[in-house]
Homo-oligomer: A and B are copies of this chain.
Amino acid sequence: MRKHFPERTIQRLLLYYRYLNFMLQQGTKMISSRGLADLLEIMDSQVRKDLSYFGKLGKRGAGYDILELRNKIAEILGIKSKKNICIVGMGNLGSALSAYKGFEELGFNISLVFDVSEQKVGHKIKGQICSNYSDLLKLIKENSIKIAILTVPANSAQETALALEKSGIKAILNFTPVKLTLSKAVKIRNVDLALELKTLSFFTED
């Protein structure tokens, strides 16, 4: 099985996964590529192509067994094994994210959250006790955490990212509007919400 799939394919797999789960709850047993495609408003051939990267998962003439396909996708995406993550910067956005159930559903567990502020360190925020940023290196190493969500102010972003790299973090979901510069060993994904809004707005008639 190759390790070079379009990123979009992986993202669609996740969307399939959500719908399959929903259909399971409804008690449906089988679904066709067309059925899935209609739900997502994409082409059925796209669904088949996406799934075909990972083997022959369907049955000609019948479609896909929902339970089987759901489990297969969970396996492909590694959803069964919980991954611990941390959030750095428990301000407006960080604390909102720490309360979000959607991460858990995809196999993540927020096991540490950090801040520098005296008001926050040692206190519960959305059910999580906030750790001190000065213990970042120690705690992340101790807990072997590999993934971090970065929600500190823009002007501390690069510095914080360096600390994360030092502590052994291998992937950062970066919400700051800052281009982080780290070694190639750390994978960075930028989520730029202002950019999302502007893109939407640009392609909208008015």
A1 within 8 A of B: no
**Are B187 and A204 neighbours in the complex by a CB distance under 8 Å?**
yes
Given known A95-B92, A193-B97, contact A10–B171 (CB-CB < 8 A): no
**Are A147 and B204 neighbours in the complex by a CB distance under 8 Å?**
yes
Per-residue B-contact encoding for A191-202, CB less than 8 Å = 1, 0 else: 111111111111
A189 within 8 A of B: yes
A4 to chain B, nearest CB (A): 10
A68 within 8 A of B: no
**Are A102 and B193 neighbours in the complex by a CB distance under 8 Å?**
yes
Q: For the complex, what is the distance from the CA of A40 to the CA of B77, rounded to whole Å?
A: 29
**Are B106 and A99 neighbours in the complex by a CB distance under 8 Å?**
no
The size bracket of the interface on A is 35 or more
A177 closest partner in B (C-beta): B102
Question: Quick one: copies of this chain in the complex?
Answer: 2
**Are A205 and B10 neighbours in the complex by a CB distance under 8 Å?**
no
Q: For the complex, what is the distance from the CA of A173 to the CA of B195, rounded to whole Å?
A: 11
**Are A203 and B7 neighbours in the complex by a CB distance under 8 Å?**
yes
A170 within 8 A of B: yes
A110 to chain B, nearest CB (A): 10
A53 within 8 A of B: no
* Extra contacts besides A102-B193, A173-B200 (14): CB < 8 Å: A2-B202, A10-B198, A11-B192, A14-B198, A15-B195, A92-B99, A92-B100, A92-B126, A95-B96, A100-B193, A106-B194, A107-B198, A108-B197, A173-B196
